Amino acid sequence: TPFLASTTEMAQSILSEPSVKDMLHVASLAHTAVVGIGGLSQDATIVKEEKLTLREMTYIRSQHGAGDILGQFYNTNGDLLHLPHHNRLIGTPLSILRKMKHVVGVAGGTEKIDAIYGALKGRFIHTLITDEETALSLLRKDGDC
């Protein structure tokens, strides 16, 4: 789970700490990761945990956001959005995730179809753990069913 600092300056300060640098470096050496895929509903975990406000979530939707992995938002094509809050994140960047040999995404529910679809299109994940209804909806969205 990434940490969201209150300001960009705070994030830069934390990221400059040797122990934080070391921890993120070790994470970047991993071959496998298991990540959750977040949706953009008002009930999204990132909102419930007060990491983002509803206002910020509305802004992300207006930028065509589809979902997030590790607090980093992307659209249904899998393109990473350029959002101000990304500069406050302390965690593994999606660019590192893309280099890993095996990333397992976990998500379910038809409200997360766009989020999961974008994660697959962006090649952020290699394997998906989901429920049958969501899997069938994804196949229909891609025209395979």
Q: Please report which confidence band the pLDDT of residue 35 belongs to, taking 50, 70 and 90 as the band edges.
A: very high
Q: Is 49 helix (H, G, I), strand (E, B) or coil?
A: coil
pLDDT of residue 44: 76
Q: What is the pLDDT of residue 46?
A: 78
pTM score, two decimals? 0.90
Q: What is the CATH number of the domain that holds 116?
A: 3.40.50.1360
Exposed/middle/buried for residue 96 (C-beta within 10 Å: 0-12, 13-18, 19+): middle
Tens digit of each residue's pLDDT (9 = 90 or more) over 49-87: 777 878 888 899 999 999 999 999 999 999 999 999 899
Nearest to 88 by CA among 2, 28, 1: 2
What's the total number of domains in the chain? Answer: 1
Given a cut of 60, whether residue 109 has pLDDT beyond it is yes
Q: pLDDT higher for 23 or 2?
A: 23
Name the average pLDDT for the chain: 92
Q: Which domain holds residue 36?
A: 3-141
